[in-house]
Structure 1
Amino acid sequence: MKQRTPEAYARSILAIALEPWLEGLHAVQHAYETDAKLRGQLDNPTIEIKDKLALLEGVLPEGSPPELRKFLGVLLTNNDFGLIDEVVNALREALVEEAAGPQQAVITTAVALTEEERQKLEARLMEQFGPNLEFLYQVDPEILGGIIIQVGDKLIDDSVRGRLQALRQKLGVS
């Protein structure tokens, strides 16, 4: 029998809680993209924020969270409503990453890294691949020096062995 993890339950709660947000944001995004009149009114700096929010009320699905309305008000107040498409896409990407769970970063070096080197490397990898990483360190003296990093389907081979193999290929030597 498969045992459920607390993380799986937490992800389920998160997905359920965010569903009304996604529905509302998608409805607003779609209306903003397809209704030129609405877009013109929302982008018009002479129309008051409360009037713009009233326009959006007609677009939002019934039962949309009040916090979503406040968020839309913040976008309007900051003159950032044009970012709605990017906000929706970023939220979707974050949810997909979260649903997928942590990615494993396999790091291979010729010698063991110090704790300080690990922390710096982990910070750089989280900037590049997102914070949802688990790190697995391996020592393989056969790579001669440098580092090999595998995250998902991405491979970064900056090892001496990898450079020598690339040089052999360029020179046509087996």
Structure 2
Amino acid sequence: MIDQFEQSVRVPNVLEDPSLKAIAQVYAEGYLNSDGEPSGDERVEEFWSFLTDVLDAYPAMERKLVSPLVSVEDKQAILDRTVMPYASKVFGNFLKVAAAHERLDLIRVIYDVCAEVNQKRAGRVPVIVRSASAISDEKLEQIRQQLAQLLSADPVINVEIEPSLLGGLVIQVGDTVYDSSLRNRLAQLKSQLRQRYVHEIQSGRDRFSYPEGS
């Protein structure tokens, strides 16, 4: 009965409760700031390995770790058996603290924040480049250099292929979007033509409404 209920438990969404990201920020910075080895990049890599090699590979284990029906003691026992023998001291302590405070349900949100904070500290800026087709290495390097000058930082580029863009590029840096796609230009042209059409109709109405000599 418990196993059936656990399958319905889902990880909280920060879009539903933005305060969850603030909590995740505390844990992410605590993990990155704690004393000892490994380095920041290595800590993020170990965190990612835990998500992909452990939780993704064993979804039943993740359901138990995030379930409010499983006690803190049982969650820590699961970690002791499966993770602690292989984890670094820093990451193992982080997981045990998160389990003790019943925050393992935020583990994926914490990772996202952790990776973002680590990149900022290293002077790297995540950038999403959307294109209608594959981008050559030469073109991608040109984009990287231009962004490096614009941002005064090292851009970490992730390319996403979106055929619906038709042509051109959409570059997203944080909440800022630079849209030079053909789809966007066509939409702008359509909007300009619509405004021009409406203006001409309105001008015609004004002429008919106020005939000369009246």
TM-score, normalization by structure 1: 0.43
- Larger radius of gyration between Structure 1 and Structure 2: 2
TM-score, normalization by structure 2: 0.35
